[in-house]
Structure 1
Amino acid sequence: MTTASDQPDSTSGAPILTGADLHLDFGQTRALRGAGLSVCPGEIVAVMGTSGSGKSTLLHCLAGILSPKSGSVTFAGREVTAMTDVERSALRRSEFGFVFQFGQLVPELSIVENVALPLRLCGVKGRQAAVDAKGWLDRLDVAHIADHRPGEISGGQGQRVAIARALVARPKVIFADEPTGALDTLQGEQVMTLLTETARETDAAVVLVTHEPTVAAFADREVIVRDGMTRSGEIKAEEFAR
């Protein structure tokens, strides 16, 4: 069950996104058992847990990708769990940004076209979308690969591009699922620095799923997921090394 400790500090302001008492089963497996959390504008929350704990499932419910069996998800006063599939898709295009472990860039598109894609899906004309995309690539120090294809760039560069794509439409919430999982330590630190700094500059909330304490250290607050339930607090780093 979600407890008060899973909520932001009272000094953080009103939450922009809240998941409460979320339950979800995959067949006979209980993935979520009353999990939940809230995040405020500009706040970075690390969701930690071992493999199979339910942390990615929680993120997908908060993002409207999965529909929980019961419980509620509310974004900016609107109940996401009551929306239609079309409404949730529109929400993900206009208000949410995503960074995944392997970037998930479209291989057939150039880097600048990949970054511009969220804007194009929101109806921004091609020329303006490209200008905005190039601006974000320059901001993240990867403007020189704008005309490359995803298969021609490194993993670290790919994650910088993924961050640019996540931020180009200036979303209210960024969902980052193991964004450094495929990177070495140095690249991971660089990616997390860029992600957190640019999110704070745009006042975007970040829900960051990770099992790495060094990655979670970039967050303002940690929420632990265990057996489909959430709680806040410290936990020994070795518990996430398994």
Structure 2
Amino acid sequence: MTAGVRGAADGGSGPLLTAVGLELTFGRNPALRGANFTIEPGEMVAVLGPSGSGKSTLLHCLAGILVPTAGSVVFDGQEVSAMNDVRRSELRRTSFGFVFQFGQLIPELTALENVAMPLRLSGKRRRVAERQALEWLDRLGVGSVADQRPGEISGGQGQRTAIARALVAGPRVVFADEPTGALDSVQGDEVMTLLASVARETDAAVVLVTHEPRVAAYSDREVIVRDGRTDDQRANGERNL
């Protein structure tokens, strides 16, 4: 089930995305308390922890959706946490891809139009964008639902479509927040196998937030979040092999 250890184990060129000493407080409630994180190209890292531990908040800081109160997030030598809203939005559009628990596909658009959307937002012509989108839908085994809307397809097909949308623009980091949470175990295994395989082929790093050990088993290593603090299992000499 495990995708196979990549990144540092394969002599990678060093971290692609790093966070050091992240702190974030909502009102009087601290969500992150000195959290650290690092991931290399082609590596899949599972972020685990109980509900309310801060794992999704950590993902949002890494992706530039939230700005930490203290600490820094650095992507490919650029400090994300110091960027303005426009620059962080551009980074999410061009270098990051996202897969969420319920897909978050636009219900009024077909699967093809949903997958083409990131390319259209980047200025590609419709015909070119939709050709690339169809290639990704075919690659993920859902080309047959290209003309259907999200409400007309199964949960598994919807998540495959969401993965195609996340990967169509060639992101360097994919953020997957509970990507199998709305699926049964069979569909979940299919989605994780596809995500791990395609990420490995494209050398994209994958930050996988989950509370399920079965899903985490697809990763190369785990980072445990407890009370806003991180425990990197690689640092402790424990790895998923």
What interval of TM-score do these two structures reach, taking the shorter chain for normalisation? over 0.9
Corresponding residue of 1:238: none
CA deviations 1:128-167 (Å, max 9, x no partner) are 0000000000001100000001111111110000000000
One-letter code aligned to 1:32 = L
Corresponding residue of 1:189: 189
- Cα distance in structure 2, aligned partners of 1:124 and 1:147: 20
SS of the residue aligned with 1:182? coil
Corresponding residue of 1:40: 40
Query: 1:105-116 to 2 correspondence within 5 Å?
Result: 105-116=105-116
Corresponding residue of 1:3: none
Corresponding residue of 1:149: 149
| 2:164 corresponds to 1:164 | yes
Unmatched tracts of structure 1, length 5 or more: 1-6, 235-242
One-letter code aligned to 2:96 = F
- Cα distance in structure 2, aligned partners of 1:134 and 1:8: 34
- Cα distance in structure 2, aligned partners of 1:66 and 1:8: 28
Give aligned-pair identity as a percent: 67
From the superposition, tell whether residues 183 and 222 of structure 1 become closer, same or farther in structure 2 (CA, over 3 Å).
same
Unmatched tracts of structure 2, length 5 or more: 1-6, 235-241
SS of the residue aligned with 2:15? coil
SS of the residue aligned with 1:105? coil
CA deviations 1:87-109 (Å, max 9, x no partner) are 00000000000000000000111
- Cα distance in structure 1, aligned partners of 2:11 and 2:138: 35
CA deviations 1:181-231 (Å, max 9, x no partner) are 000000000000000100110000000000100100000010000000001
- Cα distance in structure 2, aligned partners of 1:81 and 1:123: 26
Corresponding residue of 1:59: 59
Whether the 8 Å contact between 1:8 and 1:39 is mirrored in structure 2 is: no
Corresponding residue of 2:226: 226
* Paired positions, count: 228
- Cα distance in structure 2, aligned partners of 1:203 and 1:8: 13
SS of the residue aligned with 2:116? helix
- Cα distance in structure 1, aligned partners of 2:12 and 2:225: 22
Corresponding residue of 1:239: none
Corresponding residue of 1:177: 177
SS of the residue aligned with 1:223? strand
- Cα distance in structure 1, aligned partners of 2:50 and 2:9: 25
One-letter code aligned to 1:24 = L
User: Normalising by structure 1, what TM-score?
Assistant: 0.92
Whether the 8 Å contact between 1:8 and 1:38 is mirrored in structure 2 is: no
One-letter code aligned to 2:107 = P
**C-alpha RMSD of the superposition:** 1.4
